[in-house]
Structure 1
Amino acid sequence: MPIAQPTIETLDSLLPAEPLLMMGAGPVPIPARVAHANSIVINHLGDTMARIIGQVQSMARYVFQTASPWIIGVAGPGSAAMEMSITNLVWPGTKVLSVCNGYFSSRFAEMARRVGGDVEVLDVPLGEVVDLAQLEAALARVRPTVLTVAHGETSSTTFNHHLADIARLARAAGCLVVADAVCTLSTTPLLMDEWDVDAVVTGGQKGLSSIPGVSLIALSQRAWERIESRPSAPPHWCLDAKLAAQFWHHASYHYTAPVSGILALHEALHLICQETLERRFARHAGCSTAMQRAIEAMGLTLYGRPDSRLHSVIGIEVPAGIDRKEICSHISRRYRVEISGSFGLDIVRIGQMGEQCRAHHLFRTLHAFGSTMRDLGAQVDLPAGAAELERSLQRVGYDAA
């Protein structure tokens, strides 16, 4: 008996008439140029694509702050870039030390276990950064070949601000350093070469303000030499860095590349280069500080110690008697603003990445968030928060935001 044709709703009936303002922990709003580029399809092995790949690598070297030739794209989310780093640098018996202070740093450890790595976890309390003396002791005890760390742990809104010191200790111990920079790359300084970080991974959908599903990894020459010395092919064919290099460095076939996503990534990187990293870092620091001060002026409490808070994703403690899931549902349903819940912590998270860091987005989000909290019964002073946001943004200048 033939299968009946299903009745499928159109996108018009599935999507809201007014798009949500994406102010959570990612994905983020994308600029019009990026959206337009994502609508174009070209030959993945043609001359135009080869030129685009070269430009993506050149711009990415600036954003990663590396002279390494080993810039490779990944047809997948930031987690696929994480997995490419692990599946190529770790094999059965490789000793791995994973600094874990949240969900995503723990994902590194899980990935390493799945490819046979001998993994030791250095647990750090949520909301805190790793103690360098404890790290040095763990390095001496474990003697790992690979160290993994999240530069920005979005799940707990924690900023491992001393990545340079982490890498220095790892280098002294003869260890390669792999860093997750999905929410920090282009939002806060990360000097890959100067800090001696061997692999930095990022996704398109957060700091870079591109689309989800196309990511980047930058590898040092040391990391590439280890990849070339791998005793056997990695278990994941699509994530084999040497196969990927055939496309990214020799315009040869690996698989059909996500050409539209690469074009979008090209435009996102181009916008970063036009803005310059210095201005972009200042914009993110100024906007995030302004939003944090505004949240506190409303009478709410920020999560985590001030010296370990991310600029790119801020956490707000939920007042007693308020359901964090209801906060996210209410602000989306009534005010058309999307923020994020958490991974077990009683916080909600507001993103401050790329296009999120614009004054008009901040004011709309603050009003929606404060109104939501008031609607749900929390005692907040929304006018005081709005006034503080205005004062703080004036200090950095609206042009910068």
Structure 2
Amino acid sequence: MTDLSFPRPNTLSPTPIPCPTVDSLDGILPDEPLLMMGAGPVPIPAAVAHANSVVINHLGDTMARVINQVKTMARYVFQTRSNWVLGVAGPGSAAMEMAVSNLAWPGTRVLSVVNGFFSDRMAEMARRIGATVTTLDVADREIASLDTLARTIERDRPEIVTIVHGETSNTVWNRQLKDIVRIAKAAGALVVVDAVCTLSTMPLDMDAWGIDVVITGGQKGLSSIPGVSLIAFSDDAWDRVRTRTAPNTHWCLDATLAENFWHKAGYHYTAPVSGVLALHEALRLVCTETLEKRFARHQRCSLALQAGIAALGLRLYTPEDCRLNSVVGIEVPAGLTPRDVCHHISRHYQVEISGSFGLPIVRIGQMGEQCREHHLFRTVHALGRTMRDLNAKVDLPAGVAALEESLSASTRDALGASR
């Protein structure tokens, strides 16, 4: 007869773990909400926040309709007619890993253009799956030389080239991306582009530029929640994914399995339903505004912010000809650290900005909902007051005045152009 009684406790086992007493979120979060003006995540619109509170069947007809609309809107934002648009349950880095792990395997020749923290991350991902990785290392605050890139590609004959459109770590914009893609494609390579902070904030045309894979996260330019991302494959890239002979070692990130959910309304794993609904609303708001108007808003606000910072008497980190619009880097005055500045502005002025992986800078985001005039004035004022509090010499009235003048001038120009 089977003994169904519970086993006797082991007298040598430790004392049971007691039930903890913890604070509610009301006791942890600040009384006044923080204005998120760092390098991400960003403030989210009310429609996105509402969608993120809804749960539906992840395999039902309603979800299938949502997914179809997400793909349609994403094609507009990516500027691609490719069928192979997928969502990723994870941050932008998960989409990055989906791109790398599906296109490369042991022995694949990969060239990574590395000019910062995130471009180096793609190289590291490729190394971890056994690819043969070469890096084209670019000096800080510079962009890759097209001649050097061409020589490197001719020498190493990579099958895959990876590059970041906007390197958020040091706020460098790889403005020659279109030419880099042209050179790589002419040599027969597939090109993977990280557009996590630039998609919908700066022009990027996947099909016209010949890009094979574009990845983005939800929590930056799209102004959705962290944790649900997007990826688009060209037909050539998808053919490589589909015809590979060894299975992807990443089960959750296997694009051919993800296709079952994103294109066949079938099961892969339980999708982040609320996050997908939030992404739907974020994309809908982008489409309502249109890319053209959104690009103009981001440029207008970023240039105004840069003018305000310069008038404060602070130095912008990146040269103007390769300066990223969507994340602005600011050199920290001598005697201060990025942590000093970020901690003070958050604690005393309820504005969150970012440091940057060991660089002597702080970063202010200009992505999606961050690009609103009232956010700019609050941020410039808080930054100026923080610098004063920390005994750095700044001209706060001049900074606010320069911000106002830049915004007013761009409004006058827009009104004049419309007449």
TM-score using structure 2 length = 0.94
Partner secondary structure for residue 201 of structure 1:
strand
Distance 2:17 2:260 in 1: 43
Which residue matches 2:156? 142
Which residue matches 2:10? none
Q: Deviations over 1:206-257 (max 9, x none)?
A: 0110000000000000000000111111000000000000000000000000
Partner secondary structure for residue 369 of structure 1:
helix
Distance 1:25 1:344 in 2: 15
| Deviation at residue 301 of structure 1 after TM alignment | 0.6
Does residue 203 in structure 1 map to residue 217 in structure 2? yes
Which residue matches 2:328? 314
Which residue matches 1:20? 34
Does residue 6 in structure 1 map to residue 6 in structure 2? no
Distance 1:262 1:334 in 2: 35
| Deviation at residue 397 of structure 1 after TM alignment | 2.7
Which residue matches 1:34? 48
Which residue matches 1:282? 296
Which residue matches 1:249? 263
Distance 1:127 1:245 in 2: 39
| Deviation at residue 323 of structure 1 after TM alignment | 1.9
Distance 1:93 1:159 in 2: 31
Partner secondary structure for residue 249 of structure 1:
helix
| Aligned pair partner of 1:371 in 372, 380, 385 | 385
1:297-376 equivalent positions in 2, closer than 5 A: 297-376=311-390
| Aligned pair partner of 2:308 in 294, 301, 309 | 294
Give the gaps of 5 or more residues in structure 1.
Answer: none
Which residue matches 1:99? 113
The structure with the largest alpha-carbon Rg is 2
| Deviation at residue 304 of structure 1 after TM alignment | 1.4
The AA in structure 2 aligned to 1:153 is E
Distance 1:304 1:16 in 2: 33
| Deviation at residue 279 of structure 1 after TM alignment | 0.3
1:41-120 equivalent positions in 2, closer than 5 A: 41-120=55-134
Distance 1:347 1:323 in 2: 8
1:137-176 equivalent positions in 2, closer than 5 A: 137-176=151-190
Distance 1:382 1:195 in 2: 42
| Runs of 4 or more consecutive aligned structure 1 residues displaced over 4 Å after TM superposition | none
Partner secondary structure for residue 98 of structure 1:
strand
Give the gaps of 5 or more residues in structure 2.
Answer: 1-14, 415-419
Q: What is the percent sequence identity of the aligned residues? A: 67
| Deviation at residue 90 of structure 1 after TM alignment | 0.2
Partner secondary structure for residue 272 of structure 1:
helix
